């Protein structure tokens, strides 16, 4: 088939690579978000998908909005059979959805209908799911509600951050998306409507969502830290400034600390929660690089009974 691939961040690159490498389909163009400011200089930088497409000599389309008439005219001119999508980052209007004969097929990083929305992997980790996965589905105007072509499952490991899990799903999902394109072309795959039961939503995680509540149980604190790593980053307050929590671990045998209460030894930093303690392993003070929590604690000289979160 002739394909136009839509995607933007690094997590979409493995799928683009898989489609290019398959040799079975022609990736005629790539649609991605416009260049965005990045770094201290805030200079405009192309998306990872745009960079990879340019390396491969593939035409890159960067519409401000996918309903822009110039973009739609070019899409109709290319006349793709199908448009595979991975984390494109913009809603596709019906006028764009109607262009490819076999539609737009999205690779979504959850087992639909669970975790429809922008942040399925983060929500899966924060909810304590033991198993998640990826799904390919035909895009409709509803939010991730279209019929499903294929799925794969992936174990959520006890120490997984959302970044760890998303990386594994990006590579496994690349194979699923390529296989879905093959199955659509040869007629062996047919989309099946999603069940009405089991729908959960996964909206974007905000900075406010990532603030750790020390009155919560230790397992909840651990899930928030892992689910918000690397972005937007779990955080708390220490002496009125934000302290990012990069890595932590529940300590099941320590229950002597009040919620938010700090206890620092030579090589360990513990903080109380609504149940047992959590050990802080890596933190990032405001304006500084990540560091071992024990080194941070020595530098700030934590007082007896001092609290996080105030």
134-161 pLDDT, tens digit per residue, is 999 999 988 999 999 999 999 999 999 9
What is the C-alpha to C-alpha distance for residues 114 and 104, in angstroms, rounded to an integer?
Answer: 20
Is 111 known as a binding-site position? yes
Is 110 known as a binding-site position? yes
3-state secondary structure of 11: helix
| The pLDDT of residue 22 is above 80 | yes
Residue 227's pLDDT band, with cuts at 50, 70 and 90, is very high
What percentage of the chain exceeds 70 in pLDDT? 100
Residue 203, phi then psi, degrees to nearest 5? -65, 165
Average pLDDT over residues 82-89: 97
| Token pair listed for 73 | 């005219």
| The pLDDT of residue 126 is above 90 | yes
Residue 274 vs residues 213, 254, 279: alpha-carbon distances, Å: 9, 12, 14
Digit-coded pLDDT (tens) for 235-269: 999 999 999 999 999 999 999 999 999 999 889 99
What rounded mean pLDDT belongs to the chain? 96
3-state secondary structure of 288: coil
- pLDDT score of 31: 98
Alpha helices in the chain (DSSP H): 13-22, 48-55, 69-78, 94-97, 120-127, 162-186, 218-227, 293-300
Q: At which residue do the structure tokens 């990540």 appear? A: 290
Average pLDDT over residues 49-77: 97
How crowded is residue 188: how many other Cβ atoms within 10 Å of its Cβ?
9
| The pLDDT of residue 37 is above 90 | no
Average pLDDT over residues 92-112: 97
- pLDDT score of 39: 77
Instruction: Tell if the pTM clears 0.85, that is, is over it.
Output: yes
- pLDDT score of 38: 82
Q: At which residue do the structure tokens 């990736």 appear? A: 27
How crowded is residue 243: how many other Cβ atoms within 10 Å of its Cβ?
23
Residue 310's pLDDT band, with cuts at 50, 70 and 90, is confident
């Amino acid at each position: 088939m002739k394909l136009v691939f839509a995607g933007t961040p690094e997590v979409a690159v493995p799928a683009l690579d898989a489609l290019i490498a398959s040799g079975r389909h022609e990736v005629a163009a790539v649609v991605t978000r416009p260049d965005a400011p990045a770094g201290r200089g805030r200079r405009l930088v192309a998306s990872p998908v745009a960079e990879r497409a340019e390396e491969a000599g593939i035409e890159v389309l960067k519409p401000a909005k996918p309903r822009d008439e110039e973009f739609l005219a070019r899409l109709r001119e290319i006349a793709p059979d199908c448009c595979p999508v991975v984390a494109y980052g913009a809603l596709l209007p019906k006028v764009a959805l109607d262009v490819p004969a076999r539609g737009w097929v999205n690779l979504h990083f959850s087992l639909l209908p669970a975790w429809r929305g922008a942040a399925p992997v983060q929500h899966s980790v924060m909810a304590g799911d033991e198993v998640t996965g990826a799904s390919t589905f035909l895009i409709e105007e509803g939010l991730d509600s279209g019929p499903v072509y294929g799925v794969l499952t992936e174990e959520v490991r006890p120490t997984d951050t959302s970044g760890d899990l998303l990386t594994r799903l990006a590579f496994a999902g690349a194979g699923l998306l390529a296989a879905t394109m093959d199955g659509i072309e040869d007629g062996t795959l047919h989309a099946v409507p999603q069940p009405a039961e089991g729908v959960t939503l996964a909206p974007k995680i905000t900075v406010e969502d990532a603030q750790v509540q020390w009155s919560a149980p230790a397992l909840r604190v651990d899930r928030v830290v892992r689910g918000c790593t690397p972005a937007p980053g779990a955080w708390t307050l220490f002496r009125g400034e934000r302290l990012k929590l990069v890595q932590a671990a529940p300590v099941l045998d320590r229950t002597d600390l009040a919620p938010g209460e700090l206890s620092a030894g030579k090589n360990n930093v513990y903080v109380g929660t609504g149940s047992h303690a959590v050990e802080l392993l890596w933190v990032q003070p405001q304006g500084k690089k990540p560091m071992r929590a024990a080194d941070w604690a020595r530098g700030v000289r934590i007082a007896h009974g001092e609290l996080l979160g105030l």
